[in-house]
Amino acid sequence: MILGCLLLGTRYGGMGLGLIGGIGLFILTFVFGLQPGKPPVDVMLTILAVIGCASVLQAAGGLNVMMQFAERILRRHPSFVTVLAPVTTWSLTFLCGTGHVVYTMFPIIYDIAIKQNIRPERPMAIASVAAQMGICASPVSVAVVSMVSILASGHGVGTPIGIIELLSIAIPASLTGVLAAALWSMRRGKDLDKDEEFQAKLKDPAQKEFIYGESQTLLNSKFSKEAYRATWIFFAAILVVVLFGAFPELRPSFGAPGKLKPLSMNLVIQMLMLIAGAVILITCKVNSREVPNGTVFKAGAVAIISVFGVAWMADTFFEAHFTLLKEALAGVVVQQPWTYAIVMFLTSKLVNSQAAALAAIAPLGVSLGVDPRMMVAFFPAVYGYFVLPTYPSDLACIGFDRSGTTRIGKFIINHSFLVPGLIGVGTGCLVGFVLVSLFM
């Protein structure tokens, strides 16, 4: 029944996934008599705070400032676009906490590639994959916030594995995976001058004009001083988040005498994101009516609904069958932690969301006794929804490639994102495992 709800939900996207999760929850409670689990309120509130800040930043023009800077780097070194494009999209996600910032970059990456006679599929497919891989490396992403919260609730706040320890593994693991996939992408597919299908399109003048078209650029755009100010305020907030994570003694402690614990990083992130959003709103001449209309706000709202329904349904099921699951899985998952990575990877594909996959599977891993270090090592496995080309950013990437080289194959599974995704996630997990073994 759970699987059926997930499969049905994926047909309607993230919003449908969360809402249909409510149907599953109702059936579990009213038909099978299971006591409802706990909805992930802390995670949802943190998502809300982060998305609120990022949405105000977008309305202030701060995201466009970042995009323009990224474009300058790409156009200075156009022949290296296949490597620089994914590093750029990964970096934008790292800074903003959401992979949806990639949409503005697709037409720019395409324009640079086609003008350099580089097969657009090479930089564009890996750029889309890299934008999603950057989520598990961003200190303000939903996935990282969720992971920190889950580890804290399972092992006590202030334990050795906090946000800094998590990012110290996730950042190099994720970035190495992106670079490995980018290097492979440099030789993928036929060169344009040897691609018979592409050359056939150029024989039609209308098609040729469509393929090469006009340049897409932000370089000529002028932004207000408020847009730059908003960008620096956002960066400052991220820096403060990292500082509080690195030095728990900076946070106030609460609890009974002798059992004081530093304030949860979940609450710290919520506070700082709300503060940063408020400062941007007040000092950067933001039209508050425009904030809910931005792509970041809409994507964030979908993420909250998705996490709400899926995680609540999953928690209800796992809590009711925990003893059975523990007997069946505990020995395997604890002795062979890579099986946890496979479960996480497959769940991510089913729910099309890193945050929703974490909310459903990571608490189960903690309860079953999976070594938290292994959960950190295999953190990149939370990105598995590239397996089928149904994610919005992948579909948008295909649409922006007017040459038709970035595409879905005849058998659906043989699409442009599959191999870069497998290389990126596989390398990320391997590097994460090595780093955890050496340093944690």
- Structure token pair of residue 129: 């994959």
pTM of the predicted protein model: 0.75
pLDDT at 153: 59
Q: Kindly list the distances between the CA atom of residue 20 and the CA atoms of 4, 423, 439, in Å, as whole numbers in the listed order.
A: 10, 32, 42
Q: Which residues of the chain have pLDDT under 50?
A: 155-158
Handedness of CA 333, 334, 340, 342 (dihedral sign): negative
Q: Which among 48, 160, 154 is positioned nearest to 367, based on CA atoms?
A: 154
How far apart CA 407 and CA 415 sit, in angstroms, is 6
Helices 225-246, 62-76: crossing angle, 10 deg rounding: 90
> What are the pLDDT digits (tens) for 348-366?
876 667 877 887 788 878 8
How far apart (Å, rounded) are the C-alpha atoms in residues 198 and 118? 12
In this prediction, residue 157 carries a pLDDT of: 38
What are the DSSP calls for 10-38, one per residue? HTTHHHHHHHHHHHHHHIIIIIS-PPP--
Predicted confidence at residue 158, as pLDDT, reads 39
CB 266 within 8 A of CB 42: yes
Residue 138 contacts residue 97 (beta carbons within 8 Å): yes
What confidence score (pLDDT) does residue 6 get? 60
Q: Are 98 and 87 in contact (CB under 8 A)?
A: no
Q: How many CA atoms lie within 13 A of 312 on its CB side?
A: 26
Alpha helices of 223-321 — where are they, by DSSP H? 225-246, 265-283, 295-320
State the pLDDT at residue 325.
57
